Structure 1
Amino acid sequence: MTTSSLQGRVVLITGAARGIGLATAEAFAAAGATVTIGDIDGDLSKSSAAALAARSSAKVIGLRVDVTDRESFAAFFAEAEALVGAADILINNAGIMPTGYFVDESPELTDRQIDINVRGVTNGSHLAATRFVNRGKGHIVNIASVAAITAEPGLATYTGTKHFVLGFTDALRRELHPHGVGVTVVLPGFINTELSEGTVVPRWAHALACREPEDVAAGIVAAVRADSSRATIPASLGILIKTMSLLPARARHAVQHALHFDTTMTGADPEQRAAYHRRISGTDH
């Protein structure tokens, strides 16, 4: 299902009060879509939506949603439908990325990543799929990460959750596409948001691997327009990952070590990460 025109389409985005989600809301609004910003922080969701509506000609609303709670997610769909119409596109963007060694990770933080990054995606995908299949149209976008492929040290649980999102979304596309429903998985690299603050990307790799939230947003819009199955952002990083995958595991890990890619997360500045870790350990995601 190709969605070349986004004019008048109703787009729901989770985790959209800040970062990649908010940039994506702005990109869809600029393309003429009606946008619903969903976030666990209901007040920030509403203020972000109001600010976006004020600087664009699009209709934008902000609602609270807890993606880990299926009833809350269902209410998000229902409220958005009552206010702006039935959803055409769902972007499961909400996610958290704590850094550190798995042996130091609390069971509560492990569960929290699984709840948000995995259950949030399955909750949203199921609610959207049942609606879209019945109508014979619609599009689901699930945000994974290049970590789903590269499996960086310091991100064991996060990598596992995003590996799930990647496999789940690839399989879901094969199930839903024959029914006219598009499904896309997006794999961002190192994006300049709070999520990656304090991580250490080798200087030589910045041009190859690092981008702004607006770059991811543009990639998501392009992927929906083209009905792409997968989008790696930046594309240059996807090419590097494919090239590296041709090497045996031992050689690949040796190259990653030589290029200092294996300390990107384990060498993250704890002081710079502290504010983000405090936020995600609470109720705000």
Structure 2
Amino acid sequence: MAKQPRVLVGQVAAITGGARGIGKETARALVREGVKVAIGDLDLELAQKTAAELGGGGTAVRAYPLDVTDRESVRAFIDAVEADLGPIDIFDSNAGIMPVGTFLEEDDDSTRRQIDINVYGVINGAKEILPRFVERRRGHLVNVASMAGKGGFPGVATYCGTKHFVVGLSESIRGELAYADSPVEVTCVMPAIVQTELATGLKATRGVKPTTPEDVAEAIVDALKVPRFDVFVPKAAGVANTVMGVLPRRGREGLARALKADVALIEADHSARRGYEVRAAESDPHLEAGHQPASLGAGED
């Protein structure tokens, strides 16, 4: 017998990097389900605008300052949300950046920034929320990774490494929770290229339809209602991953060429991406306002 979908009405969700893109659409989708939503973002002003936009229907939506690279900031975010809205039921580690450019052209600041946000941001969220979930014996951790966490794509070497980390971390946490007989759920979301600012200037691939942030948000909500670990968006990406997994290396690389996945990122239009990449570079809280990054050869999402 199929599992009955869980009712999400009245639950509390916290979303990192929730002011725009996938985070914003996930917040919107959860609001439709009657979930109280906390949006954490480094850009507090934009987060407040997003909260005001999404909270017009009466469901509680609040904005909070959040620097995912700072564990104390993550703890303060969680404490504030739980004081305002109640115990968190859903924690969505969504914040991330994606510089585009060859590995040898990537400057050290860009490398550190990706690791700080994409790796430590997820670690900090998990380390702060999971003890609360485990103690309450309920809760659902959602880590947004990428199809880049399942393969290596030219033009985003460090990004791929960070997303491989998110997938591996999520799998290990899931196994440890199961070993401890904990009912806490973990979901790892692996979208293909999503039509957000992050994807500006990227080439299209073959065989996988364009994915929108609304598609990813819908898949996340579905996984919250009927819990599952692997969430590929679109589903065809999961099929492609399965096929790739059984092919020898030459076959995988040949298929990647046929799908144009080998050039989708490395042949990006960097002039089109410049606005995004400057904004992503400024996401480093240690940079002074107006600071120009030393190199924009590797764009950030």
Give every structure 1 segment of 4 or more consecutive aligned residues whose post-TM-superposition deviation is greater than 6 Å. Answer: none
2:198 pairs with 1:195: yes
Question: For the residues of structure 2 that align with 1:162 and 1:229, how far apart are their CA atoms?
Answer: 15
Distance 1:147 1:258, change over 3 A: same
Question: For the residues of structure 2 that align with 1:209 and 1:153, how far apart are their CA atoms?
Answer: 20
* Structure 2 partner of 1:87: 88
Question: For the residues of structure 2 that align with 1:210 and 1:58, how far apart are their CA atoms?
Answer: 31
> What TM-score does the superposition give when structure 2 sets the normalisation length?
0.90
1:196 Cα offset (Å): 1.1
1:85 Cα offset (Å): 1.0
1:140-187: CA deviation from partner (whole Å, max 9, x where unpaired):
000000011121100100000000000100110112242110011000
1:258 Cα offset (Å): 3.4
Is the CA contact 1:192–1:213 (under 8 Å) kept in the aligned structure 2?
yes
1:245 Cα offset (Å): 2.2
Question: For the residues of structure 1 that align with 2:19 and 2:191, how far apart are their CA atoms?
Answer: 18
2:20 pairs with 1:22: no
Is the CA contact 1:88–1:137 (under 8 Å) kept in the aligned structure 2?
yes
Aligned to 1:42, which of 35, 41, 44?
Answer: 44
Question: For the residues of structure 2 that align with 1:62 and 1:81, how far apart are their CA atoms?
Answer: 13
1:79-134: CA deviation from partner (whole Å, max 9, x where unpaired):
11111111111000000001000100001100000000000001001111010001
Aligned to 2:189, which of 186, 190, 193?
Answer: 186
* Structure 1 partner of 2:239: 239
Where does the alignment leave 5 or more consecutive residues of structure 2 unmatched?
A: 285-300
User: RMSD over aligned Cα, in angstroms?
Assistant: 1.5
Is the CA contact 1:189–1:209 (under 8 Å) kept in the aligned structure 2?
no
Counting matched residue pairs gives 281
* Structure 2 partner of 1:142: 143
Question: For the residues of structure 2 that align with 1:2 and 1:115, how far apart are their CA atoms?
Answer: 39
> What TM-score does the superposition give when structure 1 sets the normalisation length?
0.95
| Identity %, equivalent residues | 42
Q: How does 1:132-171 map to 2 (within 5 A)?
A: 132-171=133-172
Aligned to 1:51, which of 46, 50, 53?
Answer: 53
Question: For the residues of structure 1 that align with 2:260 and 2:141, how far apart are their CA atoms?
Answer: 35
Is the CA contact 1:209–1:237 (under 8 Å) kept in the aligned structure 2?
no
* Structure 2 partner of 1:9: 11
* Structure 2 partner of 1:212: 212
Question: For the residues of structure 2 that align with 1:210 and 1:169, how far apart are their CA atoms?
Answer: 26
1:3 Cα offset (Å): 7.1
1:169 maps to amino acid: S
Q: Aligned with 2:262: secondary structure?
A: helix
Question: For the residues of structure 2 that align with 1:174 and 1:12, how far apart are their CA atoms?
Answer: 23
1:222 Cα offset (Å): 0.6
